Chains A and B, each alone.
Chain A
């Protein structure tokens, strides 16, 4: 091909050529914020006291400080910090994966109905007074059930067995709407003084209910979902070129696609079942990551994970520290996410959004 004048111009730097720097900065920021988050909170703990509490925990020698202080550091702040990191990462990785699988940068982690399913599971459990653990288990199961329903209906819609992705996305929307109406029914029959506020509270999302034990349990499906995606991440590049091209390049797309959907769904379901509905993270973080390092999943996926954790940790620190009354984290992510999304649309740089 004759080099045209334009093509001979020195190409501008590709975003992925910044990846080493971006990775370094992200990890540094993450470590710094991780450490700092232990010092922030509404219960006053000085840095000196913080170190004494941690020292006491490590050495086993009593610090002489109030028991409440140790509880604040290890029972409140630590699980929340880890929860924010893990859930932020999980939702972002799931969102990135879905965007590649469905070749659609506008889909997010809840595209197949996982969030609405989880919401209904939680609402039902609250109605049945199942307690915190019951709520988490029920929302996890219903979240998976919603996605399974989407896949089943989707496979009927696409009878020739090959998935174009679009009908699955549309089916996901239908199933989401269905489960949203189940949520509405639950709210309709809920007692307005006790149960209804509890359902509303759960739906708005928050990490205040996440304990260390819940996190340890949620870590299992998260790891099962995360590791395969990380190992297969380069293949997502190929899948994002569409089914026929990916098949011609040598991928058994149907099996791979279902496998990756299952993994992403595990990530999403495990997250929303302990945090409630946290929107936008799975949509905007992948975009942000793509702006930083480009679309190649080899680097995009790890950067999404780091950025998602960082983002949710920042937001959750605001949610738990800034005001006397805790702000639901889902509301904060929407407040940040919606304008950012408009910015993406306005910016409209071809192919980047």
Chain B
């Protein structure tokens, strides 16, 4: 059964400082929502609010109409999983141990994971195609692999939604593509996905819905095609882009956003392409 995560007229920010106001959006399970926007406009604030790390300043967040305010962390974790950016934890846990932590909300307060939980963790590793990493040390695998492990951990949580913080950051080109592929695959499995990104093309690739956050708390929502326009990109990032389209092997059109660098590099005002 589909589930709907909605933000109604949400205002969010840090204590004493509101950053975004009157924000409404909806994500349904199976859908991908991509949060785009330049550095410092409140992308992180928005999804920290979504995860309940920051208190709402106004409005409400609902799951299938039920206000999540006051839900326990455990109950929230049943529904929403969080995939942070890969980072190095202080201790060299094995990959399986890291993935098993996804079971935290599902096991008793004094319990530790049992055989059943290990099976779920193993399945998550398989879903993401990294079963071979299970016995490796998390701190010793590559950044792309770590990102996959963190996704596996969130899957082990068995959530309906995944909130991903720049899942492709710091990854090489190949790994970026592989991670996006998995994101689409997860959506196809019926998981709702909210992710931040710096790359407009990723929104096209995931055929997702987009919320574009611009300076001064202005935002636009819609499909990738509606939002990622040459004009919007210029307004948001201050760079010129050209949209283009290519056909994939099955004949579907895939759009791409190509940055236009100033022809004479000496005239460049120091604006770097965002694509």
Contacts and interface: CB of A to CB of B under 8 A. Distances in A.
A–B contact, 8 Å CB criterion (strictly below) = yes
Interface of A: 1-4, 6-8, 11, 14, 16, 99-100, 103-105, 159-160, 162, 231-235, 237-238, 240-242, 244-253, 290, 294-296, 298, 350-352
Contacts of B78: 250
Contacts, number: 128
Interface in B103-152: 104-106, 109-113, 128-130, 132-133, 135-137, 139-142, 144-145, 148
A11 B91 CA distance: 18
A351 B88 contact: yes
Contacts of B157: 249-250
B102 A249 contact: yes
A247 B145 contact: no
Contacts of A251: 73-74, 104
A1 B182 CA distance: 9
B206 interface: no
Given A247-B73, A248-B82, A250-B104, A240 B112 contact: no
Contact of A248 (B77, B91, B94): B77
Contact of B144 (A1, A103, A241, A295): A1
B206 to A, nearest CB: 17
Contact of B178 (A1, A162, A252): A1
21 contacts: A1-B144, A1-B148, A2-B129, A2-B174, A103-B89, A237-B93, A241-B89, A244-B82, A244-B84, A247-B53, A248-B51, A248-B77, A249-B101, A250-B73, A251-B74, A251-B104, A294-B94, A296-B94, A350-B92, A351-B89, A351-B137
B207 to A, nearest CB: 22
B72 A1 contact: no
A7 B91 contact: no
B199 interface: no
Contacts of B113: 234
B29 to A, nearest CB: 18
Q: Is the interface of A mostly helix, strand, loop or mixed?
A: loop
Contact of B82 (A162, A234, A245, A298): A245
A285 B63 CA distance: 47
Contacts of A7: 132-133, 136, 141-142, 145
B104 A1 contact: no
A240 B84 contact: no
A15 to B, nearest CB: 9
A345 to B, nearest CB: 15
Interface in B137-185: 137, 139-142, 144-145, 148, 153, 157, 163, 174-175, 178, 182
A351 B91 contact: yes
A350 B140 contact: yes
B90 interface: yes
Interface in B209-246: none
